[in-house]
């Protein structure tokens, strides 16, 4: 796979850069994976003791620092330079109080990094996930039909399907992530909800949320927008351009969804609160209550991020959709404004710059699709060749 990398002197490194290669074998170091973000000066000092130069991944580094100086330097150059964090960076390294708060937030997000280590082979899990995707699609479509007709929907079926999705994504998240890419062109509400649920479970798995919390999260995200079934179709198709009274009417989908779930009396308080707050934003610019920061509890923040990601990558007008790399860069610019910075960074790591299902061009000029992530070497995922170097369809 083509990786846009640059060689630089270790003394020119700055926090936020992504180191993808060393001038010594990885196996001779204590690093648990091949490739990592530089967090602070301690990371740089450690690299100085090991190497003379390293390679940084330009695309991943762009997400965290301004590398305008770097772009003018050839990949083989050893010219030394200094790269400063982007002007919108909110972390001040000289402020020890802020550093402590950031560290504490990260500890809260990553409670148990070893909770989900075992992975089922992609080929095996894909068969299960593919059948389940069809089931959840029919179930979600039926839910919206019943809601639109003012009827109750089958709660047990929704919960059972959501639990099965959680089990599959725990075993191997790439199978469902692949399917979400294959189904990405459909922008109907129920398909958006399914894709957002996939992102949410994969994200929650990355955060090592317990299975019961993952199941609650999946149910909440899947049902978060059921209130839209009671809105005029025109409002749904033009939601980004709405102003005044129309915008107020559109935003009532939250209260409608909450009322429907409360009426059925079979959903937990956490599920209902996730639905109620998934359109709130970290800076208070969301709706309906304009909650800020820690007033929005974790599942609702996760739901907000995954629905936003789904929206920007699958616009009704496909020409306006962002590819995965641009979407992650866009999300990173929203840290500590629309969304909590630590959560954005963790989401980027959980989904990856090149998620399963993404099309890429290899160094050989062949076109391939990413099948599965490599957790120990993030820049070398498993791929399937689709077209050869002459762009002819592969026979394999």
pLDDT at position 121: 86
Q: Is residue 117 part of a domain?
A: no
| Over residues 332-350, mean pLDDT | 89
Whether residue 369 sits in one domain with residue 314? no
- Looking at residue 51, the DSSP 8-state letter turns out to be -
Q: Is residue 228 part of a domain?
A: yes
Whether residue 126 sits in one domain with residue 61? no
Q: Is residue 115 part of a domain?
A: no
What CATH number corresponds to the domain at position 148? 1.10.3210.10
Lowest model confidence (mean pLDDT) among 21-35, 211-225, 256-270: 21-35
Lowest model confidence (mean pLDDT) among 28-32, 78-82, 327-331: 78-82
Whether residue 228 sits in one domain with residue 156? yes
Query: Residue 256 in 3-state DSSP?
Result: helix
Q: Is residue 96 part of a domain?
A: no
Crossing angle for the helix pair 324-333 and 341-351, to the nearest 10 degrees: 170
> pLDDT confidence of 145, banded at 50, 70, 90?
confident
> pLDDT confidence of 328, banded at 50, 70, 90?
confident
Lowest model confidence (mean pLDDT) among 54-68, 121-135, 211-225, 338-352: 54-68
Whether residue 194 sits in one domain with residue 64? no
7 vs 139: CA distance, rounded Å: 51
Q: Is 1's pLDDT higher than 50?
A: no
Q: Is residue 50 part of a domain?
A: yes
> pLDDT confidence of 259, banded at 50, 70, 90?
very high
304 vs 311: CA distance, rounded Å: 11
The model carries a pTM of 0.72
Q: Is 225's pLDDT higher than 60?
A: yes
Contacts of 355 (CB under 8 A, 6+ apart): 177, 181, 324, 370, 373
Q: Is 247's pLDDT higher than 50?
A: yes
The rounded percent of the chain whose pLDDT value lies above 70 is 77
Q: What is the largest distance, in Å, between two alpha-carbon atoms of the chain?
A: 68
Whether residue 181 sits in one domain with residue 75? no
Q: Is residue 292 part of a domain?
A: yes
Whether residue 387 sits in one domain with residue 259? no
pLDDT at position 380: 65
**pLDDT one-digit tens code per residue, 185-195:** 555 667 889 99
**pLDDT one-digit tens code per residue, 73-97:** 444 444 434 444 433 333 333 344 4
> pLDDT confidence of 57, banded at 50, 70, 90?
confident
Whether residue 155 sits in one domain with residue 217? yes
139 vs 165: CA distance, rounded Å: 13
Whether residue 133 sits in one domain with residue 85? no
Pick 241 or 171 by higher pLDDT.
Answer: 171
Where does a domain end: 34, 66, 89? 89
pLDDT at position 203: 94
Contacts of 53 (CB under 8 A, 6+ apart): 7, 8, 9, 10, 23, 78
Whether residue 265 sits in one domain with residue 211? yes
142 vs 190: CA distance, rounded Å: 9
275 vs 289: CA distance, rounded Å: 13
Whether residue 190 sits in one domain with residue 166? yes
pLDDT at position 374: 63
Domain interval for residue 322: 122-351
pLDDT at position 101: 56
Where does a domain end: 89, 114, 132? 89
Whether residue 147 sits in one domain with residue 252? yes
Alpha-helical segments (H) within the chain:
41-50, 58-62, 96-109, 122-148, 155-171, 173-182, 189-206, 211-223, 233-237, 244-250, 253-264, 269-277, 298-313, 324-333, 341-351
**pLDDT one-digit tens code per residue, 292-311:** 998 999 999 999 999 999 99
**pLDDT one-digit tens code per residue, 193-223:** 999 999 999 999 988 899 999 999 999 999 9
Q: Is residue 110 part of a domain?
A: no
| CA 253 remoteness from chain centre | 24
Q: How many domains does the chain have?
A: 3
Q: Is residue 327 part of a domain?
A: yes
Whether residue 294 sits in one domain with residue 152? yes
Q: CB–CB of 143/223 below 8 Å?
A: yes
């Amino acid at each position: 796979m083509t990786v846009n990398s640059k060689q630089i002197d270790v003394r020119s490194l700055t926090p936020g850069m992504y180191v993808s290669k060393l001038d010594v074998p990885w196996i001779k170091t204590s690093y648990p994976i091949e490739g990592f973000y530089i967090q602070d000066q301690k990371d740089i000092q450690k690299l100085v003791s090991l190497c003379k130069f390293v390679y940084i991944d330009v695309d991943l580094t762009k997400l965290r620092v301004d590398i305008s100086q770097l772009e003018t330097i050839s990949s083989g150059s050893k010219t030394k330079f200094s790269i400063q964090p982007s002007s919108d960076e909110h972390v001040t390294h000289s402020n020890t109080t802020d550093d402590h708060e950031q560290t504490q937030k990260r500890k809260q997000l990553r409670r148990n990094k070893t909770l989900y280590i075992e992975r089922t082979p992609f080929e095996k899990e894909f068969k299960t996930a593919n059948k389940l995707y069809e089931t959840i699609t029919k179930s979600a479509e039926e839910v919206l039909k019943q809601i639109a007709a003012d009827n109750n929907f089958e709660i047990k079926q929704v919960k059972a399907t959501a639990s099965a999705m959680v089990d599959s994504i725990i075993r191997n998240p790439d199978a469902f992530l692949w399917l979400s890419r294959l189904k990405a062109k459909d922008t109907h509400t129920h398909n958006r909800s399914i894709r957002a649920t996939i992102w949410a479970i994969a994200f929650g798995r990355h955060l090592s949320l317990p299975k019961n919390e993952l199941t609650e999260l999946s149910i909440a995200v899947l049902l978060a927008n059921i209130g839209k079934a009671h809105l005029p179709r025109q409002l749904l198709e033009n939601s980004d351009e709405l102003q005044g009274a129309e915008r107020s009417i559109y935003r009532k989908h939250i209260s409608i969804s909450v009322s429907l779930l409360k009426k059925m009396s079979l959903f937990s308080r956490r599920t209902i609160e996730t639905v109620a707050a998934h359109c709130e934003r970290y800076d208070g610019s969301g709706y309906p209550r304009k909650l800020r920061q820690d007033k929005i509890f974790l599942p609702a923040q996760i739901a907000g991020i995954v629905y936003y990601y789904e929206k920007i990558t699958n616009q009704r007008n496909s020409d306006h959709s962002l590819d995965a790399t641009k979407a992650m860069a866009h999300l990173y610019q929203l840290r500590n404004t629309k969304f909590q910075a630590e959560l954005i960074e963790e989401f980027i790591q959980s989904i990856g710059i090149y998620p399963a299902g993404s099309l890429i061009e290899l160094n050989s000029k062949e076109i391939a699709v990413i099948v599965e992530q490599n957790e120990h070497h993030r820049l070398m995922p498993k791929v399937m060749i689709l077209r050869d170097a002459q762009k002819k369809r592969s026979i394999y």
